[in-house]
Homo-oligomer: A and B are copies of this chain.
Amino acid sequence: MSAINEIQTATAVPAADVAAAAGAPAPDVKRRAKKEKVAEEKKFNLKTPKGTTDFMPSEMALREQIFSTITSIFKQHGGVTIDTPVFELKEILSGKYGEDSKLIYDLQDQGGELCSLRYDLTVPFARFLAMNGNQFPAIKRYHIAKVYRRDQPAMTKGRRREFFQCDFDIAGAYDPMIPDAEILTILTRILTELDVGRFQIKLNHRGILDGIFSVCGVPTDLLRPISSAVDKMDKMPWAEVKKEMLEKGITDEVAEAIGVYVKQKGSKELVQALLQDEKLSGNAQAKAALDELALLFEYLDVFEVTDKISFDLSLARGLDYYTGVIFEAILLDELTTAQIQGTAPLKKDKKSSSKAKDDQDADNDENVGIGSIAAGGRYDELVGMFAGTSKKGVSKKIPCVGLSVGVERVFSVLAKKQARETKASATQVLVMSVGDGLLAERMQVAKELWRAGIAAEFMYKKKPKPQQQFTMCDKEQIPYAVILGPDELAEGKVRIKDMRQKVEGDAAAGVVVLRDDMVAQVQERLAQL
């Protein structure tokens, strides 16, 4: 008993003792000549490569919580996962990312094939579908994995050269807009579940944009450049966007005509209004796209997510491969009211990189200032680019629609919200001793806890000090201690203490239970956590 009493007040321990308690290495005093030391220190440049980082245990614990939330929802929607190699044949990636292809990491030619690190998960997925279309003419697949971009890193903003993408795609030829509606529902559920704050999903359709440009008189060869200018409307005032358009070669009249359309945002009513617009609905492509959006909104109503969607005619998104619905989710709490209402542009780093980097905006945190947190769209032709045609000349294309969650973004938003670092270990019980080392006894108890599936640790010392053990509990946020003392053990008893309670008096010593009941007693307490 006295041994246990001895440590009742020892739970609050200065942080400085933490390292020692966790087992700081005994210094091996092996002196070297100064010259030799310098030589050795030169030998290793102790760092991770530029634009990459190590993730610490508590960061990984938060990251795994995020992944777990996301995959749980992916699975609820029938998602399966595949794995593709981290590098692909160079030719697979070539010509898919516009001028950003220069950001692709190549492997050195060491004989054999030329390979590159993947730049995203979408092109490898399209390659996978082109190879395995017979087995998977349709698939809902998710993939959470790292991608690589030799971009200028901005580590403090979370823009790195190695970062995670988190994609869910529905591939297959289905009746229109049903998978698109489910994709938007999944995204809504994920952002709600992750608790990242208020968000909105901006929605548009490539067919509507192209229809607008066409009826306003944009020459075909200027479609993409003008689209790229329109996409900047959330980052700069209309006057600047218009100026860029004029510089790209359209007339003031055409630009103003475009402006009338792309300044509009709304919901399903806007779809109906545009369908009544004779000029626009006279364009076959725009009419078909508007009909699709009208149907999509019907389905979104059934799924009850319409209130999260803003039909925004200025959303263009950069990637060339989109063919239908496009969307981008933004966090509202990082914007001013004026920005949300669209009366003030969003601030964004002006970068020289092309708009083909749009996917990266969501994924690689380029837009830390503007709240973009997920994005996606329909790309019906990408698989066909790889798969080509059958012997009979039939295109082997597989239509796809997908979303990408900017998990690095989610991570930094959630990390900021935390009062304390995420508990890194899963440890629920520290088996400790007082009064004597009791190593074999602590091992025995730990073994019994492990066999019951309980996460338990003990200090790897023959005679650890009580304070060291309490420090370990505190540092690792371990909720319970099983405390062994020689006298109590002799009576067939141990003590269980709730380490989260910083109480004094009798409760501080914990509760004495029978040694034989120990596992059951611990389980009972853990069940209430």
Q: Do A107 and B105 contact each other (CB < 8 Å), given the known contacts A19-B137, A131-B46?
A: yes
| A343 interface residue (CB < 8 Å to B) | no
| A239 interface residue (CB < 8 Å to B) | no
B25 touches A110 (CB 8 A): no
Residues of B close to A440: CB separation below 8 A: 298-299, 302
Residues of B close to A32: CB separation below 8 A: 389, 393
A406 CB to closest chain B CB (Å) equals: 18
| A52 interface residue (CB < 8 Å to B) | yes
B178 touches A31 (CB 8 A): no
- A18-37 to B contact mask, C-beta < 8 Å, 1/0: 01001111111111100001
Residues of B close to A174: CB separation below 8 A: 23, 460-461
A475 CB to closest chain B CB (Å) equals: 11
CA distance A86 to B440 in the complex (A): 40
Residues of B close to A527: CB separation below 8 A: none
A230 CB to closest chain B CB (Å) equals: 29
A residues 38-87 touching B (CB-CB < 8 Å): 40-41, 43-50, 52-57, 60-61, 63-64, 75-87
CA distance A389 to B29 in the complex (A): 9
A24 touches B173 (CB 8 A): yes
CA distance A23 to B136 in the complex (A): 9
Per the CB 8 Å criterion, the residue count for chain A at the interface is 125
CA distance A360 to B464 in the complex (A): 37
Question: So how many copies of this chain end up in the complex?
Answer: 2
- A393-405 to B contact mask, C-beta < 8 Å, 1/0: 1111111000000
Residues of B close to A44: CB separation below 8 A: 91-92, 127, 130, 385-386, 388
| A139 interface residue (CB < 8 Å to B) | yes
B80 touches A424 (CB 8 A): yes
At the interface with chain B, which of A216-224, A365-373, A450-458, A480-488? A450-458
CA distance A362 to B354 in the complex (A): 46
Output the nearest chain B residue to A95 by Cβ-Cβ distance: B43
A17 CB to closest chain B CB (Å) equals: 12
CA distance A389 to B31 in the complex (A): 8
B107 touches A106 (CB 8 A): yes
Residues of B close to A462: CB separation below 8 A: 175
| A108 interface residue (CB < 8 Å to B) | yes
| A447 interface residue (CB < 8 Å to B) | yes
A residues 425-441 touching B (CB-CB < 8 Å): 425-427, 439-440
| A276 interface residue (CB < 8 Å to B) | no
A266 CB to closest chain B CB (Å) equals: 23
B91 touches A57 (CB 8 A): no
- Name the contact of A60 in the complex, choosing from B80, B170, B178 (C-beta under 8 A): B80
| A505 interface residue (CB < 8 Å to B) | no
CA distance A218 to B134 in the complex (A): 62
B29 touches A87 (CB 8 A): no
- Name the contact of A138 in the complex, choosing from B23, B84, B110 (C-beta under 8 A): B23
A392 CB to closest chain B CB (Å) equals: 8
A175 CB to closest chain B CB (Å) equals: 5
- Name the contact of A30 in the complex, choosing from B37, B88, B389 (C-beta under 8 A): B389
Residues of B close to A517: CB separation below 8 A: none
Residues of B close to A182: CB separation below 8 A: 460
Residues of B close to A23: CB separation below 8 A: 137-138, 172-174
Output the nearest chain B residue to A61 by Cβ-Cβ distance: B80
B130 touches A46 (CB 8 A): yes
A173 touches B26 (CB 8 A): yes
| A132 interface residue (CB < 8 Å to B) | yes
A106 touches B110 (CB 8 A): yes
Output the nearest chain B residue to A180 by Cβ-Cβ distance: B460
Output the nearest chain B residue to A76 by Cβ-Cβ distance: B455
Residues of B close to A117: CB separation below 8 A: 107
15 additional A-B pairs beyond A64-B81, A77-B455, beta carbons within 8 Å, are A24-B172, A28-B394, A29-B394, A45-B89, A50-B113, A54-B131, A55-B84, A57-B141, A60-B83, A174-B460, A175-B462, A179-B460, A181-B443, A299-B443, A302-B440
**29 sampled A-B residue pairs with Cβ under 8 A:** A23-B138, A23-B172, A24-B137, A25-B137, A28-B384, A44-B91, A44-B92, A44-B127, A44-B385, A45-B89, A46-B387, A50-B113, A56-B82, A57-B80, A57-B139, A60-B82, A64-B81, A76-B426, A76-B454, A76-B455, A77-B455, A78-B425, A78-B427, A78-B456, A106-B108, A107-B107, A182-B460, A299-B440, A303-B443
Q: Which residues of A does B touch, CB under 8 Å?
A: 19, 22-32, 37, 40-41, 43-50, 52-57, 60-61, 63-64, 75-89, 91-92, 105-110, 112-113, 115, 117, 127-128, 130-135, 137-141, 146, 148, 150, 162, 170, 172-175, 178-179, 181-182, 185, 189, 298-299, 302-304, 384-389, 393-399, 424-427, 439-440, 443-444, 447, 450, 453-457, 460-462, 476
